[in-house]
Amino acid sequence: MTQFLGTVAVLVWKDLKLEFRSRDILVSVLVFGLLVALLFSFALKPSPGEGARLAPAILWVALAFSGTITVTRTFVREQEQGGLEGLLLTPASRDAIFLGKALTSFLFMLAVEAVLLPAFSALLAAPLLSAGIAVTAVLATLGFATLGTLFSAIAVQTRSREIMLPVLFFPIILPLLIGAVESSAHALSGGGFSRWLPLMGVFDALFLVLCPWAFGAIMEE
């Protein structure tokens, strides 16, 4: 068990170091997330009082898009230079490789959210910095990173992979996204923790079990 966690830690550390040197994922995803917020502001033209009402929707659409880019980039970077074949040749188990990738995406997305949440609360004039929203973000990001990693592992193999990931990913992730939007709205209206959080927890737990197994099946080929 400790050896397994050690392997996961090494894999995560490798990706983090790569990111510290290149900074290509975090910076591009961050800029993209802000752009989505900007586009929404122009499209919806929120009046001063409306920011809080629209904030959950804008926040989660922006995070869903930027999250999709994060999981794709994390995988494509490995794929482009034949790194994945290399990883599969090492004694690291398929589960460790999967959890390493998922954890990396999870950390990247949390880092992006840590910047976007304060930025959005200023831009949209909505108090997005609360415990309720923080827990929502962690639960949503966990499920997003887990399923996203599995589906990007499939999507990078297919033709027209840029479209394949969202087509596969969004219908299945939808309950998590609804939960995140509703739970954030609940927190914004001063309600604290919502009943959506347990549902999101169930979603995360289910796919944390299923996805590593499915990843192993894909990589057997």
Partner 1 sequence: MSSDAVTARISPAKPLGQTTRWLGLLALVLTLADLYLIFLVAPADAVLGQVQRIFYIHVPMAVLSFLAFFLVFVGSLVFLMRRTPRWDRLAHAATEIGVVLVTLALLTGIIWARPVWGVWWTWEPRLTTTLILWLIYVACLMVRAYAPSRSRGAVYAAVVGIIGFADVPIVYYSVQWWRSIHPAPVVGPLAEAGALEPIMLAIFLFSLAAFLVVFLYLLLQRIAVRRLEDQAAGVRLASGGQASPGAP
Which residues of this chain interact with partner 1, rule CB under 8 A?
A: 147, 150, 154, 157-160, 164, 167-168, 170-172, 174-175, 178-179, 182, 195-196, 199, 202-203, 206-207, 210-211, 214, 217-218, 220-221
Task: In angstroms, give the least distance from the CB of 198 to partner 1.
Answer: 11
Q: What is the maximal distance between C-alpha atoms in the chain?
A: 57
CA dist 23 and 26 (Å) reads 6
The smaller minimum CB distance to partner 1, of residues 5 and 210, is found at 210
Task: In angstroms, give the least distance from the CB of 182 to partner 1.
Answer: 7
The smaller minimum CB distance to partner 1, of residues 21 and 159, is found at 159
> By the 8 A CB rule, do 29 and 88 touch?
no
Enumerate helices (H) and strands (E) in the chain, giving the number of each: 8, 0
- Provide the token pair at 192: 């604290």
Task: In angstroms, give the least distance from the CB of 92 to partner 1.
Answer: 21
The smaller minimum CB distance to partner 1, of residues 48 and 220, is found at 220
CA dist 169 and 75 (Å) reads 15
The smaller minimum CB distance to partner 1, of residues 135 and 147, is found at 147
Q: Is the dihedral of CA 152, 157, 161, 164 positive or negative?
A: negative
CA dist 59 and 130 (Å) reads 14
The smaller minimum CB distance to partner 1, of residues 108 and 207, is found at 207
Task: In angstroms, give the least distance from the CB of 19 to partner 1.
Answer: 28
> By the 8 A CB rule, do 46 and 83 touch?
no
Task: In angstroms, give the least distance from the CB of 218 to partner 1.
Answer: 6
